[in-house]
Structure 1
């Protein structure tokens, strides 16, 4: 049986999962992620053995940031998202065969910015400054070290011949150099963009593209026993 490693770009997964399947509690989100990854182990009539799930993300920051609309600083450590993210990472730490690869958030350059839909509406004239609310702003915080950790793990898995297949759940092309290296070492590289379209030229750097559908449908508490063992 071929051995598969599943690498998850956490920031990408969390945003796409919320968009596709709605918001969930930290525990349900962690369970949904594990169920989703296990779906990749059945491919047509082929069964794969899980080597490990590598999850890449950053812990939240508790920085106080100036909000341009409110005209005051906002303590991110007191926001519900701060507790949610900490609880979510704590849940993942308890999952079997899950390795957390945590980077850091660059709090030195973090600022509040308008979200994309708001910018479009302002530019089109369908919204004015008087219509802006706190919900139109998002904290823009850059991740540091995550892409490098993904690349290093792909190279390590390939050179050490630890797996036969790598499934990468990600949405951009930053992985291309590492994916090319893995393919040269004979690894089957599958990209899962979570039902998002990808650039046509990316297909020459992967061996396949596959998304696995809603992990919250048709699941029972009995089914989760295997993932928590």
Structure 2
């Protein structure tokens, strides 16, 4: 009987990429930056995911990507700014566990095991690529294999020794290590947040210009700014200061977050702001004014 070749699967095969983000980020942060905590670095996750997809396609030529499962955690399962951006990417499904007060992930491993077993049981894929290191994954790997699915384990190059459970390595069908060079372009150390950024720094991406006057039928500037501040206050309370801190130094917002700000404001106002470009500027001014106060930054809104 011929041995199945990982590099030449059936042309109609499908594969899924399951990523334990906690493992990936921690391992990469350690080998690349010597970082112990995620807040010490930033990740260009959208570019990293595209690179992982491309690498997977090269490793399984002829295979069709079902989707990327991105397993992460957040306090009270309220997604962070980065997680909201990632969730908008095509072919990516974000799965969130809970992050407790000590920064420990809860429920993530269970979600990975459940999805891996379900994909295999329903014959949704012929191959899965698993980026993980925990021995808790072993029963799910064995269950998937029992349903005829090949499990390919990817790990992150460790600074020394190993960062994956030995038994997980044993039980997987193939094993590959992602090199530090492969991951390096997507990880950067976070510089200290300046206590008082200068106006030139904060407004570098927006050319200074007089604030346009509202049309007769448009909303009042003071009202829109007040709503922007209220949305910021609500987000600080519901999403947490650490989440909002990720937006600093501003004043540009990721498109996904900017759209959420607009939608929240329109709900509070009871009407659309989309016909009034100047109102969008005032809304952001109000939002940033509240955020800067929260973090004691000495920059406010633009001159009225």
Q: TM-score range by the shorter chain?
A: 0.5 to 0.7
Q: Greater share of helix residues, 1 or 2? A: 2
Q: How does 1:1-229 map to 2 (within 5 A)?
A: 1=11, 2-22=13-33, 25-26=42-43, 28-43=44-59, 46-60=61-75, 86-106=80-100, 110=101, 140-196=102-158, 197=162, 198-213=164-179, 214-215=182-183
- Give SS of 1:186's match: coil
TM-score by length of 2: 0.48
Aligned 8 A contact 1:36 1:215 in 2: no
CA radius of gyration, larger in: 2
Q: Higher RCO, 1 or 2 (CA under 8 Å, sep at least 6)? A: 1
Aligned 8 A contact 1:3 1:51 in 2: yes
Cα RMSD between the aligned structures? 2.7
The alignment covers a number of residue pairs equal to: 163
Aligned 8 A contact 1:33 1:215 in 2: no
TM-score by length of 1: 0.62
C-alpha separation in 2, matches of 1:209 and 1:18: 21
C-alpha separation in 1, matches of 2:85 and 2:22: 16
C-alpha separation in 1, matches of 2:48 and 2:145: 29
Cα deviation for residue 203 of structure 1 reads 3.7
Cα deviation for residue 24 of structure 1 reads 5.7
Task: Identify unmatched segments of 5+ residues in structure 1.
Answer: 62-81, 111-139, 218-229
